[in-house]
Structure 1
Amino acid sequence: MLYIVLPAYNEAAALPALLEDVEQNCMPFPHQIVVINDGSTDRTWDVVQSYAQTHNNIHGVNHVQNQGLGAALNSGFQYVLNLNEKQDNRPESSGQLNQEVPDMVITMDADNTQPADRIPLLYDQICSGADIVIASRYVQGGEQHGLSLGRRGLSWGAGKFMHFFAPIQGVRDYSCGFRAYRLSILAEGARLYGPDIIKSRNFSGMVELLLKVAPFAERVTEVPLKLHYELKKGASKMRIGATIWGYVQLIYQIKRNKWSTVEWAEE
């Protein structure tokens, strides 16, 4: 089963087009979509509820107050793990799904700046043996448009920073949230770190998640992503200063060996 996890904060304008695009690109695969409304002040939750009422495979998780990207992803992962367990325990589900296709989770932004046509490519890479696949702006064929100079510098610098302090083989784009994971990898992370795998509240949580679950992966790879940030409706939610400080804290925790499993990434 393919699970799509979409953390959303004030994305009422972008969600309808994104959900339709995701549905179209996921048609060949059995899939479920989980949207986490992270305390939005617009009509995001109304949009999620409306789609959930008309689509059996669309689910909503509601945070009454904004808790940050990390908490939204944690809630989404826990929902998926519970949903997958229920589906596995259903007697009628036995033999219905292709047992050769691994359960997987794809995370992506809910602002419709990351093209859903990458989903089949991420899916195929997991089916071909990868454990984590990153939609990368920094491999051949990858591009990014519409980002401010500051955001471009932050993303580029974060990659160089992490590649120096905590290199992971096969990874160039450490901060992009458009990724695919084998569900078993996330389950291992939840068993080790508890339901709140990500502690960071800001966008550095994507790097934290990668560093925590990569040790469970035998193969991490990337596929090209053409990011179109000019399509974003509304202002960016990223606070650059807080994100930079989050990266510094991550490295500090690694160097103190607070996460024993991250030693793999330092080799």
Structure 2
Amino acid sequence: MQLSVVIPLLNEEESLTELHHWISATLEADGFSYEILFIDDGSTDKSWDVIRTLSRKHNTTKGIRFNRNYGKSQALHAGFAAAMGDVVITMDADLQDNPEEIPELYTMITEEGYDLVSGWKKKRYDSVIAKNIPSKLFNAAARKTSGLKLHDFNCGLKAYKKEVIKNVDVYGEMHRYIPVLAKNAGYSNIGEKVVQHQARKYGKTKFGMERFINGFLDLLTIWFLSRFGKRPMHLFGAFGVLMFVIGFGLAIYLGIDKLFLDPSGRLITQRPQFYIALVSMIMGVQLFIAGFLGELVLRSQRDKERYRIAEKTQS
């Protein structure tokens, strides 16, 4: 199979039939063999009824429904696990991504040799204050910390080699950083394509300003994990040893000063340097233990259930 189109969604009943027809018409006109995977992330409207109807009518269409809302990253994880295509396309369900971009994205993967191609919504139809300005700040920070020169990390329209999505673990809310996760996994041939951005036709956006706060926090997380995720002792242990040496050195100085240099007879506990030395040594030991525990957790971690599927359509 050439293509899998993975579409995570939440309460998009009005757009699904139109989106399905648009994707199918585009791919069939170019002669693709394909599947469309709708991942219902706990919708409370009739989205799943629409997906089941589309699945019964079209053998190229499949659906997965979560028993509650787990988030876009978990929906993508489930879609990636189920995808069978040699190239995997992700897109949003709100009709703001244009399926007519898919053939060129496919060509960039199969003929130009990219591991991943990320869409760039150069001209947007979102609110300038609510989305455009925060997006620019967010993307600038992501470029600086990751080293990837992408303009739009959070664009839902992306194309991947199958091996990329099978080897990159999307968890938490890290869907914004799939290119960074791919780079950290060794897939360095990452490209970008300017894509059309459509104005929202139905409903309203599911994301508020809080997603940008969460995005920056996730960016710090992924920066830390990419640098020290596989070697926590290198960070915590190094700081721990440094703090302990500073505290221990200061304690030795106080002892020598008390024994040989200070004729006043003051108690060591009356000197503020004593408490600085004590706190430094305690912090050093705690940081070292944190690094040691991190190493133990890393070596004993097991896959955990991150979402629960309530139902699948029959293929």
Q: TM-score, normalised by structure 2?
A: 0.67
Q: Which residue of 2 is the match for residue 158 of structure 1?
A: 138
How far does residue 213 in structure 1 lie from its aligned partner after superposition?
1.4
How far did residue 255 of structure 1 move?
3.0
Pair member with larger Rg: 2
Q: Determine which structure has the larger helix proportion and give its number.
A: 2
Aligned to 2:162: 183
Task: Report the Cα distance in structure 2 between the residues aligned to 1:260 and 1:104, rounded to whole angstroms.
Answer: 29
The one of 172, 178, 190 equivalent to 1:199 is 172
1:223 aligned to 179, 193, 200, which one? Answer: 193
Per-residue CA deviations over 1:47-72 (Å, capped at 9, x if unaligned) read 10001001111000011211111111
Amino acid at match of 2:145: F
Given residue 93 of structure 2, which amino acid in structure 1 is its aligned partner?
A: A
Letter in 2 for 1:207: R
Contact 1:118 1:135 in 2 (8 A): no
How far is the alpha carbon of 1:183 from its aligned partner? 0.7
Q: Structure 2 vs 1, CA of residues 73 and 19 (structure 1 numbering), >3 Å: closer, same or farther?
A: same
For the Cα contact (< 8 Å) 1:176–1:206, is it kept in 2? no
TM-score, L = length of structure 1: 0.79
Q: Secondary structure at the match of 1:217?
A: coil
- Please give the alpha-carbon distance, in whole angstroms, between the structure 1 residues aligned to 2:49 and 2:128: 31
Question: Residue 118 of structure 1 corresponds to which residue in structure 2?
Answer: 101
Quick one: which of 50, 57, 70 aligns to 1:67?
Answer: 70
Match status 1:56 vs 2:26: no
Partner of 2:40: 37
Report deviation, 1:206.
Answer: 2.5
Distance 2:25 2:208 in 1: 33
Gap regions ≥5 residues in structure 1: 85-102, 262-267
Q: Which runs of 5+ in 2 are unaligned?
A: 232-315
The total of aligned residue pairs comes to: 225
Kindly provide the CA deviation profile for residues 87-109 of structure 1, in whole angstroms up to 9, marking residues without a partner as x: xxxxxxxxxxxxxxxx1110000
Report deviation, 1:253: 4.0
Q: Which amino acid aligns with 2:223?
A: I
State the shift of 1:25 in Å: 1.3
